[in-house]
């Protein structure tokens, strides 16, 4: 949102700057015309003062002429001197070089035109008997007349910056409020409403957008509440019949012959499978609804991984397979321990399901450095199974995903384990990905952010 504020502020400031430049350009011809009028007026005054000074010299001597020149400087603001046709200063205190330049300029009848650098403000005007009046304003900047007022323009620029900042804030403020509300809504932080916080001085379109957002937020909250109620109802309505079914199965075992036992075993197996499926569906639904891990505790990730591998090793031995923890490193992290345990178990048990009999599922825990980013924690689980097609490596983390390989539904699983793993990692700021290994097998990598050296923060 700060970028939007900067763009609005910059746009307004540029528009003001362009307007001020336009004013200066339009004003410049007037400045030039005024300068010419001021110089022509000064030339006339300089000539008149020189005439008076020459008359005073004839009547009162040099002292009288000097008084005339001093009085003229006090009253008109012009410093006047008189030079002869060769540039010798007769009256006044002009420098010889200035007097010579003034004589040359007067010889060309350049009345009202400055002598040029470094005598930019001096003028030379011919008077009687070949005398030349040499004059300069005592405050040369006055010659510029109504020049572009730099200080005024600076004040206007600062005022334009201030007003542009206020307008930019006024324009982007409602959008900033909407963004903050969207983040709260995404995080599931209770009821979110925007319209009451929008100023009544805000733009009508912004107020209308805030009202639309409030209606959308109300609708989303209603849908989420309905979904939560549905999950609770599904959990209760489905699991209650399953519980009664299991009770009925136990009673049936006591009353049927041995020939019917295999059928009852099959019913019980499917009942357990259905119960597992319901639990996974509910877990997936809850994870999809969450925006962050429900609980956070500090625990040793390496210890958790060892416990998962030890538990899975009992199942592996019964089917002629092994679990090998080939490498590990100590990491203490903050996160939902049970959720991460389930995520890792899903991957390890998935590897056991597909690795051939007599082979091992290899598990490792290590730290990985990145040149363009912070270091991460990697948990890698590799099986020796058939792998999956390369174009399906991302799909296996989707709910109920199936690929056309030996990993078929008949081989076990309901297609939710890896999806739950991916969602659990995402809630901890991590990621899950899969890769086929040269020589056979699938490697699933679980990545968690490493927030500081010596430990992780999931």
Q: Could you give the CA distance from residue 111 to residue 417 in angstroms, rounded to a whole number?
A: 98
Going by their DSSP bridges, the two strands 132-137 and 322-327 should be labelled as: unpaired
Q: Is 34 a catalytic residue?
A: no
Give the total residue count for the chain.
458
Q: Could you give the CA distance from residue 439 to residue 47 in angstroms, rounded to a whole number?
A: 107
Q: Which residues pair with 360 in a beta bridge?
A: 322
Write out the two tokens for 252.
């049936």
pTM, rounded to two decimals: 0.51
Query: Which pLDDT score is estimated for 453?
Result: 46
Query: Which pLDDT score is estimated for 447?
Result: 92
Query: Which pLDDT score is estimated for 119?
Result: 64
Among residues 34, 236, 370, 428, which one is catalytic?
Answer: 236
Residues 303-335 have pLDDT tens digits of: 999 999 999 998 888 889 999 999 888 888 888
Residue 134 buriedness (CB in 10 A; 0-12 / 13-18 / 19+)? buried
Segments of 132-253 assigned E as strands: 132-137
H/E stretch holding 141 reads: none
Residues 246-303 have pLDDT tens digits of: 888 888 877 777 777 888 888 888 887 777 777 777 777 667 666 555 567 889 999 9
Q: Which residue positions in the chain have pLDDT lower than 70?
A: 1-9, 11-12, 19-35, 109-122, 138-153, 167-172, 187-190, 197, 199-203, 231, 235-236, 285-286, 288-295, 372-373, 401-414, 451-458
Q: Could you give the CA distance from residue 162 to residue 155 in angstroms, rounded to a whole number?
A: 11
CA angle 422, 424, 430 (to 5 degrees): 70
**What SS3 class is residue 430?**
coil
Chain Cα centroid distance, residue 330:
35
CA angle 98, 99, 102 (to 5 degrees): 85
**How many other CB atoms are found less than 10 A from the CB of residue 328?**
17
Query: Which pLDDT score is estimated for 118?
Result: 66
Query: Which pLDDT score is estimated for 456?
Result: 46
Q: Could you give the CA distance from residue 122 to residue 104 in angstroms, rounded to a whole number?
A: 12
Contact 415, 399 (CB under 8 A): yes
For helices 150-186 and 2-60, what crossing angle results, to 10°? 170
Q: Could you give the CA distance from residue 267 to residue 263 in angstroms, rounded to a whole number?
A: 6
H/E stretch holding 61 reads: none
Q: Could you give the CA distance from residue 421 to residue 346 in angstroms, rounded to a whole number?
A: 7
């Amino acid at each position: 949102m700060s970028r939007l504020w900067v763009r609005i502020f910059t746009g307004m400031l540029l528009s003001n700057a362009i307007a001020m430049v336009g004013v200066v350009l339009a004003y410049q011809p007037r400045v030039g015309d005024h300068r010419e009028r001021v110089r022509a007026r000064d030339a006339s005054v300089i000539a008149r003062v020189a005439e008076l000074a020459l008359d005073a010299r004839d009547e009162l001597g040099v002292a009288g002429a000097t008084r005339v020149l001093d009085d003229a400087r006090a009253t008109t603001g012009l410093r006047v001197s008189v030079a002869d046709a060769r540039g010798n200063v007769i009256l006044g205190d002009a420098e010889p070089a200035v007097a010579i330049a003034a004589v040359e300029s007067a010889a060309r009848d350049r009345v009202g035109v400055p002598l040029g650098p470094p005598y930019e403000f001096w003028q030379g005007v011919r008077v009687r008997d070949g005398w030349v009046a040499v004059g300069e304003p005592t405050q040369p900047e006055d010659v510029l007349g109504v020049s572009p007022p730099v200080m005024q323009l600076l004040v206007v620029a600062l005022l334009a910056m201030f007003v542009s900042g206020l307008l930019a804030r006024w324009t982007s403020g409602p959008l900033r409020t909407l963004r903050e509300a969207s983040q709260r809504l995404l995080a599931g932080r209770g009821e979110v409403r925007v319209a009451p916080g929008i100023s009544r001085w805000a733009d009508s379109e912004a107020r209308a957008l805030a009202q639309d957002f409030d209606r959308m937020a109300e609708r989303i909250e209603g849908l989420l509440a309905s979904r939560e109620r549905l999950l609770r109802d599904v959990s209760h309505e489905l699991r209650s019949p399953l519980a009664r079914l299991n009770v009925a199965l136990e009673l049936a075992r006591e009353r049927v012959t041995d020939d019917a036992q295999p059928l009852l075993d099959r019913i019980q197996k499917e009942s357990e499978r259905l119960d597992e499926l319901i639990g996974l569906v509910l877990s997936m639904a809850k994870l999809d609804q969450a925006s962050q891990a429900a609980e956070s505790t500090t625990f040793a990730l390496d210890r958790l991984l060892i416990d998962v591998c030890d538990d899975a090793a009992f199942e592996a031995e019964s089917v002629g397979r092994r679990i090998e923890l080939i490498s590990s490193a100590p990491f203490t992290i903050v996160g939902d321990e049970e959720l991460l345990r389930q995520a890792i178990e899903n991957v390890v048990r998935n590897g056991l399901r597909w690795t051939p009999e007599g082979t091992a599922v290899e598990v490792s825990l290590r730290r990985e450095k990145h040149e363009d980013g912070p270091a991460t924690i990697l948990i890698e689980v590799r099986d020796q199974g058939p792998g999956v097609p390369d174009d399906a490596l991302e799909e296996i983390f989707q709910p109920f995903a199936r690929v056309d390989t030996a990993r078929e539904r008949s081989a076990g699983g309901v297609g939710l384990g890896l999806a739950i793993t991916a969602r659990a990692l995402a809630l901890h700021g991590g990621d899950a990905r899969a890769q086929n290994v040269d020589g056979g097998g699938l490697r699933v990598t679980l990545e968690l952010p490493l927030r500081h050296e010596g430990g992780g923060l999931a």
